[in-house]
């Protein structure tokens, strides 16, 4: 099965090993399912470093899915978190969450096609 490319994402870097893709995609979807709620709670509580750690984790995986816009916003969030800039962190987190949803949808659709 050729690598999926759509909606500004690509799985080309992940290869065409279907069992491996299933494992990677299902793991990412599982690991990010509660991310928006966790991130919102941590930012509201001022726990920016904890939020930055999760955003960094997601950014690392998203890089391999060529989710460029998500990675750029993640970098801005991490920078704001390191500087304890809560207003900027809040704004960029909203952008990050808005960009994470279509990536999750893309991966979920592709995972169903692999079944």
Q: Taking the chain, what is the end-to-end CA distance rounded to the nearest angstrom? A: 12
Tell if the pTM clears 0.85, that is, is over it.
yes
Q: CB atoms < 10 A from the CB of 74, how many?
A: 27
Q: How many Å apart are CA 114 and CA 46, to the nearest integer?
A: 40
Burial of 95 (0-12, 13-18, 19+ CB in 10 A): middle
- Map out the domains of the chain as residue ranges: 35-114
Q: Is the predicted pLDDT of residue 84 greater than 90, yes or no?
A: yes
pLDDT in tens, 23-82: 989 999 999 999 999 999 999 999 999 999 999 999 999 998 889 999 999 999 999 999
Answer for the pair 58, 35: CB distance below 8 angstroms, yes or no. yes
């Amino acid at each position: 099965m050729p690598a999926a490319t759509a909606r500004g994402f690509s799985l080309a870097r992940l290869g065409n090993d279907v069992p491996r893709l299933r494992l990677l995609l299902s793991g990412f979807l599982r690991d990010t399912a509660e991310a928006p709620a966790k991130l919102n709670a941590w930012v509201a509580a001022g726990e920016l470093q904890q939020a930055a750690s999760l955003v960094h984790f997601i950014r690392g995986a998203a890089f391999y899915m060529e989710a460029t816009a998500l990675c750029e916003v993640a970098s801005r969030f991490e920078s704001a978190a390191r500087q304890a800039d809560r207003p900027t962190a809040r704004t960029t987190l909203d952008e990050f969450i808005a960009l994470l949803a279509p990536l999750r949808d893309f991966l979920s659709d592709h995972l169903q096609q692999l079944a």
